[in-house]
Chains A and B, each alone.
Chain A
Amino acid sequence: MLIALLSWLGSILVSLLLGTFLCYRIEKSGVERWGATGKLFK
């Protein structure tokens, strides 16, 4: 059961980390049309 739950938890963590990384890339691009606002999660 632990393996199953960890695989699920891993998917959730991948989602949060990958999403954060892509938001960072958008901020770094500075393109407002893509959503760059100066704040990572806004």
Chain B
Amino acid sequence: MLNAGELQVNYLNEGVICVFWYIFVFVLYTFFIIVLNLRSLKQVETFADFTTGGHRMGLWVGVFTTVATWVSVASVMGVPGYLYSNGVSAIIGWIAGWFLATAFIPIVAYKVRRPKNPPRTFPEFIHLRYEPFQKRSPLRAIVGLLMSIGYFIFVHLQVVGFGIVFSTITGIQYEIALFGFLFFLLFTSIGGFWSVSVTDSVNTIIIVLGVILGAFAVLYSTGGFVNIYENLATTTAPTFEGGESLPKGLLLSPVGGFGFGALCSIFLSNALGAIVSPHWVTRMMAPKNVKTAILQMMLSVLILTLIFIPLIIIGLGAKMLIPSLPAGQTTDYIMPTVITEFAHPIVGAFTLVALCAAAISTANSMLLHAGTSIYYDLYRNLFPDKDFHDEKGKKQLRYLVLTLGFLAVLSAIKPPVLLAMGFTYVYGAFGAVFFFVVLLGLYTKRMNRLAAYANVIVGLVAFIIAHIVGATNPFLVSLVVSFIAVLLSIIIGKKSPLEAYEPYFEVEVSPSTEKVLNIIRNEGADGSTDILANDSINHEVKA
């Protein structure tokens, strides 16, 4: 029999072995990221390479980048957190909501990818569709501003997720672990289109394997799914130690602790808001043709199912393994906590690196989205006559991205919302301001400039007011109000010119439309394009 001293030594040894594996696997992943991105520096990526990447993406590259874009800390940490605290209702609110959005995104792809030369950014699409004859497009600037705010919030959430995982792996205090993100940002923000594609592909494989291994660890520790189900049916353990006990059976209720109205709001924001989110609209312009874009989303849904079955097992199984979290923690900690405590160190290390991969790849691409919106759609759009040099512009964009990254780290020190809910708020806001702008803009010739302004401004104001007054479903309120404003604007506003809608309704466009497209895209006679525009296409964002 071991005495107390020997027991302590054993525990210490086990702890050291765990930390060794976590750090070993994490260092390997870091090494891979650095090598991959430094190699991309040596590759000569011309402007045309970037464009080719943008509009000629093949099916399988598209599937991997879509999955990597889709999966973020909100999915791999936020959703298990809500499964832990609210049970199966989180499947309806987030998982079914996001999957339904993925099902509907091909409706956008079916139209937005039709033009021979599609727009390169979402604000450019807005510019071409609603203000094709204006050199400076105020609507494009407004959309660029809203996008940069939305994507900064997305980045903030990724940094929070990264901080939680990095502090769990290293044992460093959360507030300090956050700054590790800047190290990754420094390397991952220098890659071009192909390096991003390869990184995304590898990240997708790591995420799929990581969550499957994590789920097996949870199934082994709980004794199987039947035990997990029985625990959900009977447990009354509070989510946090010392908190209020949960009503028996709450975790198996379809509405959980949310209530029907709130769950509907979450579902609709995630389902309808995500369809028109700028990063998904942009993503649908990248594949080589319309059908590839549609098939890309269909195949992605199947791979995403492989990721979410394990996440559901982990989130629900965690309630059996850790009935209550320590007071002061958030439910976002449940995934790394359950993995570190119940999985074998190698499995745990792999799963935690998968979480980091989700956070880093998303944060990096979202930062570029925020940066390009500010630089390209605000600055360059408002000052089109300034002399812009591409190399200088690239450098300025990098500095902007690094500054935004630093601000995101600072903002993550005191996170105000949970990861998955943060995404729902931003998706709700995007849906409120872009729903009719995108869908009616693609499917109705009568959708005009005034109606686009009405959707963006009225939708945003209604969404904010609905939140302030505490409406149960702010997204639905803003959608109805902005729809009325859009209808009135269509009736009283001027018709859209042919050049605005023709690319989305006709197979071949008229010479005047072609001319307008070339002017706005700033294309030279040789068809060469600007690298900054492509950054936002090639570095995509996750759901």
Binding site for B on A (CB under 8 A): 1, 3-5, 7-8, 10-12, 14-16, 18-20, 22-23, 25-26, 29, 31, 33-37, 41
6 more CB-based (< 8 A) A-B contacts, given A4-B88, A41-B295? A8-B92, A11-B96, A14-B104, A15-B100, A20-B298, A26-B110
| Residue in B95, B102, B298 with the greatest tally of chain A CB atoms within 10 Å | B298
By beta carbon, the residue of chain B nearest A3 is B254
Residues on A with C-beta less than 8 A from B457 are none
The CA of A10 and the CA of B92, in the complex, are separated in Å by 11
Decide if A15 touches B99 in the complex (CB within 8 Å). yes
SS class of chain A's interface: helix, strand, loop or mixed?
A: helix
- Among A8, A12, A18, the residue within 8 A (CB) of B106 is A18
Number of interface residues of B (CB under 8 A): 36
Output the least CB separation between B107 and chain A (Å): 7
* Contacting residues, chain A, for B305 (C-beta < 8 A): 12
CB of B305, distance to nearest CB on chain A (Å): 6
Q: In the bound complex, do residue B295 and residue A26 qualify as a contact, i.e. CB atoms below 8 Å apart?
A: no
Closest to B301 in A: A15
Measured between beta carbons, the chain B residues less than 8 angstroms from A35 are: 288-292
Query: A8 CA to B288 CA in the complex, in Å?
Result: 30
Q: Which residues of B contact A22 (CB under 8 A)?
A: 106-107, 109-110, 294
B512 to chain A minimum Cβ distance, whole angstroms, is 20
Instruction: State in angstroms the CA–CA spacing of A38 and B538 once bound together.
Output: 30
The yes or no answer to B91 lying at the interface (CB within 8 A) is yes
Q: Which of B92, B103, B114, B252 contacts A18 (CB 8 A)?
A: B103
Of the residues B97, B116, B289, B294, contact of A19 by C-beta under 8 Å: B294
B295 to chain A, nearest CB (A): 7
- C-alpha gap A20/B298 in the complex (Å): 9
Q: B297 at the A/B interface (Cβ < 8 Å)?
A: yes
Q: How far is A26 from B106 in the complex, measured between Cα atoms in Å?
A: 12
Closest residue of chain B to A35 (Cβ to Cβ) is B291
A11/B99 in contact, CB under 8 A: yes
Residues of A within 8 A of B113 (CB): 34
B95, B109, B291 pick with most chain A CB within 10 angstroms: B291
B107–A18 CB distance below 8 A: yes
Contacts of A25 in B (CB 8 A): 110
Query: Do A15 and B103 touch across chains, with their CB atoms under 8 A apart?
Result: yes
Minimum CB–CB distance for A19 against chain B, Å: 4
Contacting pair B290 A26 (CB below 8 A): yes
B379 within 8 A of A: no
A34 touches B91 (CB 8 A): no
Q: Is the CB of A23 within 8 A of B92?
A: no
Q: Would you give the shortest CB distance from A5 to chain B, in whole angstroms?
A: 7
Closest Cβ neighbor of B288 among chain A residues? A35
Query: Which residues of A sit under 8 angstroms from B383, Cβ to Cβ?
Result: none
**Complex-state Cα separation, A5 to B104, whole angstroms:** 19
B residues 87-146 in Cβ contact with A at 8 Å: 88-89, 91-92, 95-97, 99-100, 102-104, 106-107, 109-110, 113-114, 116
A20 and B110 CA atoms in complex are apart in Å by 12
Q: Considering the complex, give the chain A residue whose CB is closest to the CB of B256.
A: A4
Does any Cβ of A come within 8 Å of B60's Cβ? no
Residue in contact with B291 in the complex, picked from A7, A10, A36, CB distance below 8 Å: A36
Q: A4-B88, A16-B298 are in contact. Are A26 and B252 (CB under 8 A)?
A: no
Task: State which of A8, A15, A26 has its C-beta within 8 Å of the C-beta of B91.
Answer: A8
Known: A1-B88, A4-B88, A15-B298. A23 touches B96 (CB 8 A): no
List of A residues within 8 angstroms of B301 by Cβ: 12, 15-16
Complex Cα distance, B100 from A5, in Å, reads: 13
Interface centre among A7, A16, A37 (most CB of B within 10 A): A7
The contact sample of 15 A-B pairs, CB cut-off 8 A, is A1-B232, A4-B91, A7-B91, A8-B92, A11-B97, A11-B99, A11-B103, A15-B99, A19-B103, A19-B294, A23-B295, A26-B110, A35-B290, A35-B291, A41-B295
**Knowing A3-B92, A16-B301, A18-B104 touch, does A8 contact B291 (C-beta < 8 A)?**
no
Q: In the bound complex, what is the Cα–Cα distance between A31 and B103 (angstroms)? A: 23
Our pick among A1, A10, A36 for the contact of B229 (Cβ within 8 Å) is A1
B1 CB–A CB distance under 8 Å: no
Asked whether B507 is an interface residue with its Cβ less than 8 Å from the other chain, the reply is yes
